[in-house]
Structure 1
Amino acid sequence: MPHRLLDLATARAMPWKNGGGATLELAIAPAGAGLDDFAWRISSARVGTAGPFSAFAGVDRSLALLSGAGLRLQRGDGRVEELFSGGAVAQFPGEEAISATLADGPVGDLNLMTRRGVWRHRLAPLRLHGRQELENDAEVMLLWCQAGADIKCRLPDGEQQLMQSGQGLLLEAQRGPLALYAQQPALLYLAWLYREG
């Protein structure tokens, strides 16, 4: 499947690995994989209380905040990292002991995980107003519309897709130029996933 639309409204709800909450699974590979044997996984969770993160040995993680006032991460080495909606992305190994506290009420996040040595990834925010072209060199790419105006995307094969807030496009084996357009200011998160080995 070269591309598919992901939507928070229709994503599958699953319990956290540590049982402390629930997450919406947006995409996973291979299809039907579980929490212990996925190659990569994209999900979104609503965090309503402070607590530790689930441990994922051998997995690299990136976390971005989609909604809420903020999330404070107490890292395993004692550092404190603060995430805000539409801001920077936190990156950490899945086995690192991390606990989170809420700045002021529940938050929603975007979580990307890849199995180390099998896949690698990067996740970054992009503010869009007007037209912008991107080159996709990844085997799998995610474009996530977080907030603001609807976003039109012209895919490498020339097909047009529309994303609204809370929706994303997952492109598989669609390397090539992308054209993005937003009539009003919009915020996206972009992720590139590369197979290793």
Structure 2
Amino acid sequence: MSIRIIDSRTTRQVPWKNGQGVTLELAIAPPGAGLEDFDWRISSAKVEAAGAFSHFPGIDRSLALLSGAGLRLNLPEPVILDASNPVLSFAGELDVQAELLDGPVQDFNLMSRRGRWQQRLEYSELKGEAGFDCSEVLFIYCMAGSALDCLLPDGSRMQLTDGQGLLLEQEAGRCRLSSSGTTRLLLARLERVGK
């Protein structure tokens, strides 16, 4: 069991697999894994120019828009990632070209090895309180807005501000989140296949 706060401002920077940019690596499993042998990975990156996404064969990938106008992705059907469609999922082996809609964007990336893990990335705007059950791996990411208060299954409380995430691994029970205003957040969930 593990609970830790991860701050995007102090996390390590890793070059993109295709060498065209830099990623903020928020969490990876197993610890110390590289881009070829991870089970799952959570990261954030600034996209400043049009170009191809790195290939990740055998990896399921979910992308969310943190800031900026958005991206146009040439998946089998062209898709726009923007404020009205802030999360999308696709296979990591696809040839994906991205175009900026209007200037640089910051994205959030959840990846997991197909056949070992199932993943889900959800965007939410919280006003007040919400409760939900933990998953095997749960990452709560505060995108923007009011501070996010987290009441954890063990009764402890933690607070997240913009750019901070809370990683819970192997924690059973319910979490309760609350915000005194409006908080934009992401929930990244991972469950081991066939456990």
What value does the CA root-mean-square deviation take over the aligned residues? Answer: 1.1
Cα deviation per residue 1:26-63 (whole Å; 9 max; x = unaligned)? 00000000000000000000000000000000000000
Matched ranges for 1:35-50 at <5 A:
35-50=35-50
Query: Identity over the aligned pairs, expressed in percent?
Result: 52
Q: Shift of the alpha carbon at 1:160? A: 0.1
Partner of 2:63: 63
Partner of 2:116: 118
Q: Shift of the alpha carbon at 1:15? A: 0.6
Matched ranges for 1:90-169 at <5 A:
90-136=88-134, 138-169=135-166
TM-score, with normalisation over the residues of structure 1? Answer: 0.96
Q: Shift of the alpha carbon at 1:84? A: 1.5
Matched ranges for 1:52-91 at <5 A:
52-75=52-75, 77=76, 79-85=77-83, 87-91=85-89
Unaligned ranges ≥5, structure 2: none
Please tell me whether the aligned partners of residues 123 and 192 of structure 1 are also in contact (alpha carbons under 8 angstroms): yes
TM-score, with normalisation over the residues of structure 2? Answer: 0.97
Amino acid of the residue matched to residue 19 of structure 1? G
In structure 2, what is the Cα distance between the partners aligned to 1:183 and 1:130?
6
* Equivalences, count: 194
Q: Shift of the alpha carbon at 1:87? A: 4.1
Please tell me whether the aligned partners of residues 40 and 112 of structure 1 are also in contact (alpha carbons under 8 angstroms): yes
SS at match of 1:100: strand
Cα deviation per residue 1:122-170 (whole Å; 9 max; x = unaligned)? 001111011111122x110011100100000000011100000111101
Q: Shift of the alpha carbon at 1:88? A: 3.0
Cα deviation per residue 1:85-131 (whole Å; 9 max; x = unaligned)? 47431100100111000011100000000001111100011110111
In structure 2, what is the Cα distance between the partners aligned to 1:177 and 1:19?
40
